[in-house]
Homo-oligomer: A and B are copies of this chain.
Amino acid sequence: MRNIRKGTGESRRGKETILLILNSAKTILIEQGYSKLSMRKVAVGAEISVGNLQYYYPSKNDLLKDLLDHSIDEFMNEFERLRVGVNNDPELHLRSIINFIVLDLGNPTTTTFYPELWALANHDEYADKLMDQIYARVRLPLEDCITRINPKLSVEQVKKVALFISASMEGMTMFVGNGKVWNDSIKQMANIAIMSFLQMVKKITPEDIDKVL
């Protein structure tokens, strides 16, 4: 919801237009993929002229940046809400985070948006940076739980365990996401994930992580 050109999107009408643009862009990205995302199609989808689109976003890259920011904000806002009302039990908290993330993979937007983001991150610096930020943010509460459940792990080791858990869950996107073959098994996947990760966090030792074979 932040655009590039200074002084644009400040009036109420402008803000509405920006929302129309971002929604159009996101729809295209999700339904057709990044390779089919064009300024023209975004303009048509937003029911404005190409000229006007370029008034708000002078270049396609500007639009992409704002689109990524905007899309991620939505996930983040939902994720933050998890915190509220969390009790003090780290194990329970870990369970609820895992549950939330795995079940979120069933969301049709998540299913298609994130693979696009990952592919993009391999070729686009901004997307790459953004990915780092999101997942670092997602790992924060994981790290907190892990530290409390297994205090013997060093800070670095906790980070790696959190990364493992987070990455593992992301990997399920392409298999249990919306419309995917295994979508019906999403609940069981969450169960396996909780069981697997919880056991591991409890039992894992510093040596398990850092041993060299």
Q: Which residues of A contact B (CB under 8 A)?
A: 7, 31-36, 49, 111-112, 115-116, 118-123, 131-132, 135, 157, 160-161, 163-164, 166-176, 181-182, 185, 187-189, 191-193, 195-197, 199-200, 203-204, 208-212
Name the distance in Å between A136's Cβ and chain B's nearest Cβ: 9
Q: Which of B112, B174, B185, B200 contacts A160 (CB 8 A)?
A: B185
| CA gap between A58 and B188 in the complex, in Å | 44
- Chain A at the B interface: SS class: helix
Residues of B within 8 A of A188 (CB): 157, 160, 209-210
Indicate how many identical chains form the complex: 4
Q: State whether B185 touches A192 (Cβ < 8 A).
A: no
Q: State whether B119 touches A33 (Cβ < 8 A).
A: yes
Q: State whether A112 touches B122 (Cβ < 8 A).
A: yes
| CA gap between A161 and B17 in the complex, in Å | 47
Residues of B within 8 A of A32 (CB): 123
Q: State whether B185 touches A174 (Cβ < 8 A).
A: no
| CA gap between A121 and B43 in the complex, in Å | 26
8 nearest A-B residue pairs (beta carbon)? A171-B171, A168-B168, A196-B200, A35-B35, A119-B119, A170-B171, A115-B118, A33-B123
Q: Which of B118, B164, B195 contacts A119 (CB 8 A)?
A: B118
Name the distance in Å between A194's Cβ and chain B's nearest Cβ: 9
| CA gap between A212 and B181 in the complex, in Å | 21
Sample of 21 A–B contacts (CB below 8 Å): A32-B123, A33-B119, A33-B122, A115-B119, A118-B174, A119-B119, A157-B188, A160-B185, A163-B176, A163-B189, A164-B193, A167-B171, A167-B176, A168-B171, A168-B172, A169-B171, A171-B171, A196-B197, A196-B199, A199-B199, A199-B200
